[in-house]
Structure 1
């Protein structure tokens, strides 16, 4: 099985480049695709950049040009639930584009919707299981002291739930409440996952998304995100990504 591994930012996955054997680097457009093997399993790693269009473009290239069998996205997200702490890890069971609103088209029964009317994409059980196993192994290793480079106080809780995607960095209580009012089932919000899930649904390719909570999507979000980004994110996300290939 060939895996397309995506991160929006260099800090989220780029260090994994050193683990890729038989490395070949391809350039398509503005992106570099790192192809090879990890633990004998085929991988193509790429940075998508921020936002739904960037994520969808990247996923489409991985499927059409590299013929990957599954898509995996790992990165940061803002919490939408009070019980999620900064550093907790969310494994998606559903991906929702929270900024799509077609309610004004309800009742137009004579018009066939263009492929999707509800932009909600469930994660296949097999893909979710593989992601959850990697995250559980990471926390097991963490508790066993196998990552001395990660702050010893870091003890994340694992959550399984719906992840929301929109083309906005949510950094106000008002913005957060607006999303929660519309989609109370969402655990966290980010800018790429559900766009990748839509492309995966188009091509019938399984995908999974793993998100590490970097902020509370409130008025302190920018400062919290920046602190988390430059502390342990690379070490955490790269270790989780590596365990996807064990």
Structure 2
């Protein structure tokens, strides 16, 4: 009987929902989080950070320290949307984050942007939050009846609004765009165009023109490396996207859900399908990542330590 009771209690512990569980807070110091997708984007920022201490959770390193005169926590989101969303929530659960900055590279979509330029968009959307829709006998498309469709399709790919849960509402909100924090964007508008950016990569390959910082407009993210001229044209015409990447819109959604001020700095490493020969990310990744890091470091030095929104 005792053995049977022990087995029942063990099964209950395994399968009944846990109560009162909370992720352990690893550092209670108010900090600004700085996130990049993968190592080449974060290396310059890590090198410039002092008083470093690393906390490792499930293979993810969170590094606390001081950068640009501010207390920070730096982390790699991992590549693509699921990793980015997961890591962002882990970060917010375990550190006292007051604002979140993303530093990295992107594909240039806007014809006015060039490799090495740093874009700071005002809002982000998930262009591959999508329905792959049915084609009827006459070739027309037949979206599912419950579809929430903000934009016309690209072939059979029909962009959809994301589902966003809200306090006190039984049904999720459907929305496409997630805005960055207006106060941080205002600071970027004043500051970013004044930052001197590099024109030559470490391999001595130089750009024809000196890169610039551009603030405002729209950008999109999706779980695919985008290197296709037709899709680039579609994102430019349909959504007026300036850049495209694989993480930022997911981070923006998590930040909004947690009432956290957020902004992203993405430097153009390639032209997302419009490069004249082959995709140039391998040539200009280091230059683009360094330019984004320069802007972020200067931005950190100027920004106040903001209060979390309630």
Per the alignment, residue 198 of structure 1 pairs with: 253
Per the alignment, residue 183 of structure 2 pairs with: 126
Q: 1:58 aligns with which of 62, 65, 87?
A: 87
Distance 2:110 2:206 in 1: 24
Residue 75, structure 1, aligned to residue 104, structure 2: yes
Per the alignment, residue 210 of structure 2 pairs with: 155
Distance 1:214 1:114 in 2: 40
- Structure 1: 5+ residue stretches without partners: 144-148
- Preserved CA contact (<8 Å) 2:117 2:288: no
Q: 1:207 aligns with which of 249, 262, 265?
A: 262
Q: CA deviation at 1:20?
A: 2.2
- Preserved CA contact (<8 Å) 1:23 1:35: yes
Q: CA deviation at 1:219?
A: 5.9
- Preserved CA contact (<8 Å) 1:97 1:195: yes
Distance 2:111 2:232 in 1: 12
TM-score of the superposition, structure 1-length normalised?
A: 0.84
Distance 2:264 2:126 in 1: 14
Per the alignment, residue 53 of structure 2 pairs with: 24
Distance 1:131 1:58 in 2: 25
- Preserved CA contact (<8 Å) 1:80 1:186: yes
- Structure 2: 5+ residue stretches without partners: 1-29, 132-142, 149-168, 302-310
- Preserved CA contact (<8 Å) 1:150 1:236: no
Q: 2:272 aligns with which of 200, 217, 220?
A: 217
Distance 1:10 1:95 in 2: 23
RCO higher in 1 or 2 (8 Å CA, sep ≥ 6)?
Answer: 1
Farther-moved stretch of structure 1 (162-171 vs 95-104): 95-104
Three-state SS of the structure 1 residue aligned to 2:91 is: helix
* Number of aligned residue pairs: 234
Three-state SS of the structure 1 residue aligned to 2:122 is: strand
- Preserved CA contact (<8 Å) 1:13 1:237: no
Higher helix share: 1
- Preserved CA contact (<8 Å) 1:13 1:241: no
Per the alignment, residue 7 of structure 2 pairs with: none
Q: CA deviation at 1:74?
A: 1.1
TM-score of the superposition, structure 2-length normalised?
A: 0.68
Distance 1:132 1:52 in 2: 27
Alignment CA distance shift 1:76-1:39 (3 Å): closer
Distance 2:255 2:51 in 1: 27
Distance 1:135 1:67 in 2: 26
Runs of 4+ in 1 over 6 A off after TM superposition: none
Alignment CA distance shift 1:234-1:142 (3 Å): closer
Alignment CA distance shift 1:133-1:3 (3 Å): farther
Residue 167, structure 1, aligned to residue 223, structure 2: yes
